[in-house]
Amino acid sequence: MRRMLQANTSWTEQLHSVLWAYRTSVQSSTQETPFRLTYGCKEMIPIEIGQPSWRKVRAKQEGQESNDDALKTDLDLIDEIQVTAQCRELAAKQLLAAKYNRQVRPRSFNRENLVLRRADISNKNAKDGKLEANWEGPYRIKERLDGGAYILATQARKPVKRTWNTDKLKIYHS
């Protein structure tokens, strides 16, 4: 989709192809295609419709009733396939959360610690370029609130208007 938009083509003409590609691609979180999770059977690609494929040959050899029975069996199994996919998706989410939590380093600051705060949040000017300072300060920690928020004060002990979260602060080493 991104390539189509960058190429300045008529993306509406290509949308059905992009959606088909997405719906027939195996998703890493569920190990299934969205098509199979919806309809209970594997999709038939356009080439298989015009040419003889193993599925069409098997359906002809076994007869229409046998093919219908196989499709009904697939539809009966769709609930199990969806439950299995949900379990896989939950496992993938837990794995991703565990990976994220391993990399997170909790930070906390004590009262009177000197910290720097992110400059791009406090001063949002369109005139500021990319060479402006990323951090400003130092500020003193006046009070710690629940949830990792802090009330800051200037060096002259004048309180700063709003609270600041831990991820927008870093320790100042003088």
User: CATH number for the domain including 152?
Assistant: 2.30.30
Q: Which residue has the higher pLDDT, 16 or 68?
A: 16
Are 84 and 167 within one domain? no
Give me the pLDDT at residue 54, please: 66
* Per-residue pLDDT at 143 exceeds 70: yes
What Cα–Cα distance (Å) separates residue 162 from each residue in 129, 142, 156? 24, 12, 17
Give me the pLDDT at residue 116, please: 94
Residues 3-33: b if buried by 16+ CB within 10 A, e if exposed: ebeeeeeeeeeeeeeeeeeebeeebeebebb
Are 73 and 144 within one domain? no
Average pLDDT of span 26-51: 80
18 CB-near residues (< 8 Å, 6+ apart): 1, 4
Considering only 52-66, 108-122, 137-151, which range has the smallest mean pLDDT? 52-66
Q: Number of folded domains in the chain?
A: 2
Domain membership of residue 161 as a residue range: 114-171
Residue 53 forms part of a structural domain: yes
Are 70 and 37 within one domain? yes
Are 97 and 125 within one domain? no
At which of 103, 130, 158 does a domain end?
103
Residue 108 forms part of a structural domain: no
How does the average pLDDT of the chain come out, rounded?
83
* Per-residue pLDDT at 122 exceeds 80: no
- Which residue is listed with tokens 């380093």? 105
Average pLDDT of span 85-92: 93
At which of 103, 131, 146 does a domain end?
103
Give me the pLDDT at residue 108, please: 86
* Per-residue pLDDT at 48 exceeds 80: no
At which of 77, 103, 129 does a domain end?
103
Confidence of residue 105 (pLDDT cuts 50, 70, 90): confident
